[in-house]
Amino acid sequence: MNNMTTSSWEGFSMMGKQGVDDEVRKGPWTVEEDMRLIRYITVHGEGRWNFLAKAAGLKRSGKSCRLRWVNYLRPDLKRGNITADEERLILDLHARWGNRWSRIAQRLPGRTDNEIKNYWRTRIKKKLHGSGNSCRANQCFENSMSSTSNPNSFQGLNGPQESITPSASDMGGLSEADKNYRRTFHHIEEYLGIEAPMSSSTEKMDIGASTDSNRLLGFEPWTAEPSKSDTMPHDALAADVDSFTALLSEFYSEMAREGTVSSSSMQANSTEAVLKSPNFSNSEALTWPSDHSDVLWNMQDHKFHTLAWSSAP
DNA sequence: AATCTCGTCAACCGCCCATAA
DNA sequence: GTTATGGGCGGTTGACGAGAT
């Protein structure tokens, strides 16, 4: 692997400038790259990733684009902690299939193989090794090392768990990813002059009434008419994407100047702040006051929407 | 306050397989 | 049959934040 040494990061920081344009970029994705990828896939669809990377104007490998889309940008991704039900399912499936993460992920809608793999390595495996009296868990782990069973014989795994209810332990806090984009959201709101203090414990913000903003962000489905249009011609869509990208770029530049957000944090998580999964629980949704709404991406409808524009102060 | 340690997770790598030319 | 290409998978790395010291 091409390690992200200091020099690599310096090179990364030069991205987009003349002289390094021909190089295949690595490292964290920027908002601009995310938007390019989303825009292209929205219009043209997935697949042919190497071609897609070039056509979208991304200096990334096709693999990298696919990974970014599948693991991070896909609109049907589920956010938030792995629930107790999901954990049980992961344990069961891992006991049956071993490290077949993609296969396991197919049974957990909205979860990626990468997410499950990370969860297993960082949480479950630790639990298994740490709790010597957990016969069930240890059995799962041991079985996983030599799984040869017939998946069809396993009961209770026939369908996705549509209703995900956070367990008591899950209610205790948010995942790091969640926290990251909540923080970023907070910075965006601060930048736009919105009062939205984060609570100290969970860093959740107040939930507002049903708003276009929440729908735009994917917190709520569009049930009635959007403010202006929820269907835009491609030209208009592209223009709005550019406006949106420009807005975010401005915001991140400002943050970088102020040192409010670390550059890597912005690069890695910024898109999450505005690209929310439609499956994101409304109870965890943030309120984006409509009088400060801009051009936002509606992940649910795969469209961009325009709300009342209010330029940053 | 400074430093250390650990947990988390995005992103990468290498390998493999399927398909087309 | 061989080669090139695209894509998927599992394993690994390293940045970063939070808590501990």
Q: Write the pLDDT tens digit of every residue in A282-300.
A: 322 222 322 222 333 333 3
pLDDT of res. A129: 57
- Domains of chain A and any CATH numbers: 31-73 (1.10.10.60), 84-128 (1.10.10.60)
CA of A175 to C1' of C4 (A): 42
CA distances, A222 to each of A74, A207, A229, A303 (Å): 19, 18, 11, 12
More confident residue, A1 or A112: A112
Please tell me whether any atom of strand C lies within 7 Å of the Cβ of A13. Answer: no
Chain C bases near protein CB atoms (7 A cut-off): 5-18
Quote the pLDDT of residue A196: 32
Å separating the CA of residue A135 from the C1' of nucleotide C3: 51
Q: pTM value?
A: 0.51
Q: For the segment A47-61, what is each residue's pLDDT rounded down to a tens digit?
A: 788 888 888 888 888
Residue A70 has a pLDDT of 82
Question: pLDDT (tens digit, 9 = 90+) per residue, A85-120?
Answer: 888 888 888 777 777 888 888 888 888 888 888 888
A202 touches strand C (CB under 7 A): no
Helix (H, G, I), strand (E, B) or coil at A278: coil
**Residues 6 or more apart from A167 whose CB is under 8 A from it?**
A83, A84, A85
Of chain A residues 213-232, which have a beta carbon within 7 Å of strand B?
Answer: none
Predicted pLDDT of residue A60: 83
Mean pLDDT of A304-310: 28
- Do A80 and A281 touch, CB atoms closer than 8 A? yes
Check residue A150 and give left, alpha or beta (phi > 0: left; psi -120 to 50: alpha): beta
Asked if residue A48 keeps its beta carbon closer than 7 A to nucleic acid strand B, the reply is: no
Surface-to-core class of residue A121, CB atoms within 10 Å of its CB (0-12 exposed, 13-18 middle, 19+ buried): exposed
Nucleotide nearest to A271 (CA to C1'): B10
- Per-residue pLDDT, A274: 34
Q: How is residue A170 written in tokens?
A: 């899950």
Q: What is the pLDDT of residues A187-223, one digit of tens each?
A: 434 433 333 333 332 222 222 222 233 333 333 332 2
